[in-house]
C-alpha cells in the first residue's frame, strides 16, 4: 500500500471524473441557454448561426445554467478581488455562515453526547427519549426553521444564535445515534472485566465506554458538521438575512443572478468538504494516539 | 501451603436455573465443593455442564438460585467488592487502545494504587509471564499466546490470592498451550495462589491440577472429584508416565459416565 503514487491513484481517477462533469456541464449550458439566444435573435429578426449561439450561451448575464468558467470568474472576483470585510465578498458571507455552523455544531455535538450518555446509563431516558429524538428529525427543517427564528426574535434573541440553533437541531441527531451505539459497543467480556474489578460506573465510562466510542463519535461528527452547514444556510433563508451564504442564494434568486447562486453553492460545497476533512483529520489523529493498527 | 483447612471457595447444594423463553434451564444443581487454599482445581466437562457458570458464580458474575456459596468466607459479592480474585477470560479482552503495560495498569488504576506502586507491579508481573520488554507494545502487535499471557499478568497485578481462569488457552494451538501450561505451573509455584481453572482438555486438566472436578450437563452437576497423586513439581515429560495416564483414564471414564447422548 505504501508505494501508491499520488498521480496515478488519486489525481487520475478524480481528474477524469471532474473533466467529464465539466464537459457535460458545458453541453448542458449550451442546450439550456440556447432558447434565449434564439428568441433574442428572433425578436430582432436577425439570423444567428450555431457557432454564434454557442459563443453567446457562454457569456449571458442571467443564464439558465451558467458555464463553469463564469462561475469560476465570479468566485475569483468575489473572493480574491474584494476586501474580505466588503459586503460583496463571498469570503465575508462564508464566514458569517461558518460562524453559525461552528457554534451550532459545537452545541449539537455536546448535546448529542450528553443525551447519548443519559440514554445509555438510564433506562427511563432510554425508553422515553429515543422516540422523541427520532421524531424531531421527521419534521422538515424548512418548516421549523422560520418558527425557531421568529420565536427567538420575540424573546429578544437574534443574530448568530437562532441560526446556530437550527444547525444544532440537525446536528445533534447523528451524534446521539452514533454515540448510543458507540457507548454500547464494548463487548460483554470487557464489561465483565470491569465488574470483577468492582469499578464504579464513572470508571467504566471513562476507561471503557468512552474510548470504545471514539470511532463512532468521529463518524457521526462528520455527518453532523456537514448538516450543520446546511442548517445554517437554511436558517438564513426565511429571515431575509442580509449576510451569509443563504442570503447570497436568496438575493441571487430574487434578482435572477444565477451566476451568484452557483458561486455561493460552490462556496458552500467547498466549505462542507473542508469541514468534513478537518473532522476526518482529527479522527485519524485521535485513533493514532489510541494506538490503532495503521 | 500448609493451612489446607481454610476453604477459599465453599459451595453447598448450589444451584442455578436460567429462565429462558424455552423454559427454565438447569445450569447447575446440587454442587457441593470446597477449594482449599493453594489448590489448583480444574473443572472439566462437555459444553453445557455448567463449569463456566460455576466460575462466574464464584466471581459474582452470575447469582445462584439455590444453595449457598462463600468465597474467602464471604458472599461472592462481598468478595468481589474486596477484589478477592483475578479473572482470566476465554479471550484476552485487552483494551486495544492501551499498551500492554497500561492494560496491566487498568485494575491498578481502578483500585487506586499509587503511580510508583503501579510501575513496580507492572514490571514484576510482566517478568512473571515472560513478557518483559513488551510493555510498550499495543495488543495487536502481539501473538494470541502473548496476549493471553498479558491478560494473566493483568489478573496477577493486584493482591488477589484467588485466580479464576475460564478456558484461558482454549483458542491457542497445542504447542503454545503446552508452553503456557508449563509456565502457569511455575507461576503457581512462585505465587502460592489458589487457582480455579476451567478446561475441556483432559491432558491439560491432569497436567495442571491438584484436584479435577468432572462435570456433566443437563442438569449441570459434579459427577466425580479426582485427587491428583502427581507431585507438585511437574516437567512436561510427566505426561507420558503411567501415573499420569491413569489419572487421565479416570477423568475420561468420569466424562463418559456422565455424558448424555441426547444432543
| Contact: B89, A293; criterion CB under 8 Å | no
What residues have CB less than 8 Å from A45, skipping those under 6 apart? none
pTM, full prediction: 0.85
| Contact: B60, A290; criterion CB under 8 Å | no
Residue-level pLDDT at B1 = 35
The β-bridge relationship of strands B40-44 and B194-199 is parallel
Of B89, B96, B107, the CB nearest to A197: B107
Percent of chain B exceeding pLDDT 90 equals 65
Query: Is the four-CA dihedral A201, A202, A205, A208 of positive or negative sign?
Result: negative
What mean pLDDT is predicted for residues B126-135?
90
Residue B29: pLDDT above 60? yes
Q: What is the pLDDT of residues A19-58, one digit of tens each?
A: 999 999 999 999 999 899 888 888 888 888 888 888 888 8
Residue-level pLDDT at A98 = 95
Residue-level pLDDT at A5 = 73
Residue A87: pLDDT above 90? no
Q: How far is CA A257 from CA A247, A260, B12, B178, in A?
A: 13, 5, 87, 79
Q: What is the pLDDT of residues A142-199, one digit of tens each?
A: 888 888 888 888 998 887 888 899 999 999 999 999 999 999 999 999 999 999 999 9
CA angle A86, A89, A92 (to 5 degrees): 80
Give residue limits of the domains in chain B: 1-84+162-173+186-263, 94-159
Q: What is d(CA B35, CA B52) in angstroms, rounded to the nearest whole number?
A: 16
Q: What is the pLDDT of residues A238-262, one digit of tens each?
A: 766 678 898 888 888 888 889 999 9
Q: What are phi and psi of B173, to 5 degrees?
A: -75, 165
Chain B touched by A196 (CB under 8 Å):
yes
Of B90, B97, B110, the CB nearest to A199: B110
Burial of B238 (0-12, 13-18, 19+ CB in 10 A): middle
| Contact: B90, A207; criterion CB under 8 Å | no
Residue A269: closest CA among A239, A219, A222, A230 = A230
Q: What is d(CA B221, CA B54) in angstroms, rounded to the nearest whole number?
A: 10
CA atoms within a 13 Å half-sphere pointing along the CA-CB vector of B164: 26
Query: Confidence band (pLDDT; 50, 70, 90) for B98?
Result: very high
CATH superfamily of the B1-84+162-173+186-263 domain: P-loop containing nucleotide triphosphate hydrolases (3.40.50.300)
Query: Confidence band (pLDDT; 50, 70, 90) for B263?
Result: very low
Concatenated DSSP letters for B178-196? HHHHHHHHHHHHHH--EEE
Chain A residues whose beta carbon lies within 8 Å of the beta carbon of residue B137 = none
> In the β-sheet with B7-20, what is the strand arrangement from edge to edge?
B23-36, B7-20, B66-71
ipTM of model:
0.87
What mean pLDDT is predicted for residues B106-111?
95
Q: What is the pLDDT of residues B37-48, one digit of tens each?
A: 999 999 999 888
Concatenated DSSP letters for B99-114? -HHHHHHHHHHHTT--
Amino acid at each position: 500500500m505504501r508505494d501508491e503514487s499520488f498521480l496515478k491513484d488519486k489525481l487520475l481517477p478524480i481528474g477524469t471524473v471532474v473533466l467529464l462533469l465539466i464537459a457535460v456541464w458545458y453541453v448542458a449550458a449550451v442546450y439550456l441557454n440556447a432558447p434565449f439566444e434564439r428568441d433574442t435573435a428572433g425578436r430582432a429578426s436577425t439570423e444567428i448561426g450555431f457557432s454564434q449561439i454557442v459563443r453567446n450561451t457562454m457569456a449571458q448575464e442571467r443564464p439558465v445554467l451558467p458555464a463553469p468558467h463564469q462561475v469560476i470568474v465570479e468566485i475569483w472576483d468575489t473572493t480574491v478581488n474584494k476586501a474580505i470585510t466588503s459586503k460583496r465578498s463571498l469570503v465575508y458571507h462564508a464566514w458569517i455562515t461558518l460562524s453559525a455552523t461552528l457554534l451550532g455544531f459545537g452545541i449539537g455535538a455536546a448535546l448529542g453526547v450528553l443525551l447519548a450518555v443519559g440514554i445509555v446509563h438510564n433506562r427511563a431516558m432510554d425508553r422515553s427519549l429515543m422516540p422523541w429524538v427520532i421524531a424531531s428529525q421527521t419534521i422538515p427543517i424548512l418548516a421549523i426553521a422560520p418558527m425557531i427564528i421568529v420565536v427567538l426574535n420575540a424573546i429578544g434573541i437574534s443574530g448568530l444564535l437562532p441560526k446556530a440553533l437550527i444547525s444544532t437541531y440537525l446536528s445533534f441527531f447523528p451524534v446521539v445515534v452514533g454515540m448510543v451505539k458507540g457507548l454500547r459497543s464494548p463487548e460483554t467480556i470487557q464489561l465483565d472485566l470491569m465488574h470483577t474489578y468492582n469499578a464504579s460506573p464513572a470508571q467504566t465510562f471513562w476507561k471503557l465506554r468512552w474510548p470504545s466510542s471514539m470511532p463512532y463519535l468521529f463518524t457521526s461528527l462528520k455527518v453532523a458538521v456537514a448538516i450543520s452547514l446546511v442548517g445554517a444556510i437554511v436558517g438564513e433563508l426565511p429571515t431575509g438575512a442580509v449576510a451569509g451564504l443563504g442570503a447570497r442564494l436568496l438575493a441571487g434568486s430574487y434578482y435572477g443572478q444565477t451566476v451568484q447562486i452557483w458561486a455561493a453553492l460552490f462556496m458552500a460545497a467547498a466549505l462542507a468538504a473542508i469541514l468534513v476533512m478537518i473532522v476526518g483529520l482529527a479522527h485519524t489523529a485521535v485513533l493514532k494516539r489510541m494506538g490503532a493498527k495503521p | 501451603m500448609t493451612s489446607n483447612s481454610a476453604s477459599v471457595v465453599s459451595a453447598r447444594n448450589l444451584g442455578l436455573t436460567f429462565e429462558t423463553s424455552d423454559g427454565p434451564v438447569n445450569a447447575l444443581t446440587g454442587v457441593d465443593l470446597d477449594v482449599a487454599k493453594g489448590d489448583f482445581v480444574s473443572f472439566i466437562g462437555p459444553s453445557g455442564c455448567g463449569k463456566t457458570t460455576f466460575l462466574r458464580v464464584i466471581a459474582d458474575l452470575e447469582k445462584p438460585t439455590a444453595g449457598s456459596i462463600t468465597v474467602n468466607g464471604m458472599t461472592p459479592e462481598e468478595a468481589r467488592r474486596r477484589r478477592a480474585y483475578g479473572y482470566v477470560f476465554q479471550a484476552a479482552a485487552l483494551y486495544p487502545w492501551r499498551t500492554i503495560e497500561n492494560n496491566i495498569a487498568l485494575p491498578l488504576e481502578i483500585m487506586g494504587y499509587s503511580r510508583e506502586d503501579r510501575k513496580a507491579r507492572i514490571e514484576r508481573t510482566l517478568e512473571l509471564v515472560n513478557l518483559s520488554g513488551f510493555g510498550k507494545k499495543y495488543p495487536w502487535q502481539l501473538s494470541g499466546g502473548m496476549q493471553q499471557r498479558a491478560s494473566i499478568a493483568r489478573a496477577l497485578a493486584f493482591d488477589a490470592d484467588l485466580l479464576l481462569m475460564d478456558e484461558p488457552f482454549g483458542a491457542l494451538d497445542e504447542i503454545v498451550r503446552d508452553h503456557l501450561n508449563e509456565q502457569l505451573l511455575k507461576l503457581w509455584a512462585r505465587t502460592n495462589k489458589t487457582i480455579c481453572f476451567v478446561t475441556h482438555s483432559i491432558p491439560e486438566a491432569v497436567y495442571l491440577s491438584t484436584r479435577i472436578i468432572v462435570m456433566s450437563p443437563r442438569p449441570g452437576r459434579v459427577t466425580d472429584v479426582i485427587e491428583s497423586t502427581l507431585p507438585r513439581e511437574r516437567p512436561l515429560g510427566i505426561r507420558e508416565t503411567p501415573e499420569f495416564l491413569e489419572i487421565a483414564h479416570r477423568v475420561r471414564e468420569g466424562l463418559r459416565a456422565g455424558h448424555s447422548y441426547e444432543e
